[in-house]
Amino acid sequence: MKSSEINKIENLTDEEKEKFFQQLENNNAFFKEAFEAMLTLVVSDPLLTFQVADLIESEYRNLFLIIAKKQTQENKDDTSGCCSTH
């Protein structure tokens, strides 16, 4: 993204921001696209990755717990394959 485009985004009016957030709420495909773009930015910077992880852990505890639970489930599924001894 060009820096002139970034500067333009930083200067959104309250009305433009409201329209953007309304679209996020009303359009699942747009929400997913915007969220994926934000996550791509987050994971491209290790410091930002840790900051967002800390934010999720402290401010969005339910999301953090669901992610942790899924990770634990996937780890259990990965170890119950071919290598069990009977």
- Per-residue pLDDT tens for 24-49? 999 999 999 999 999 999 999 999 99
State the average pLDDT over residues 57-70. Answer: 92
Tokens of 14: 């309250």
String of b and e for 33-46 (b: at least 16 CB within 10 Å)?
A: eeeeeeeeeeeeee
How far out from the chain centre does Cα 27 lie? 17
Q: How many CA atoms lie within 13 A of 34 on its CB side?
A: 12
The verdict on pTM exceeding 0.85 is: no
**In contact, 19 and 12? CB cutoff 8 Å:** no
Residue pair 24/34 in contact (Cβ under 8 Å)? The answer is: yes
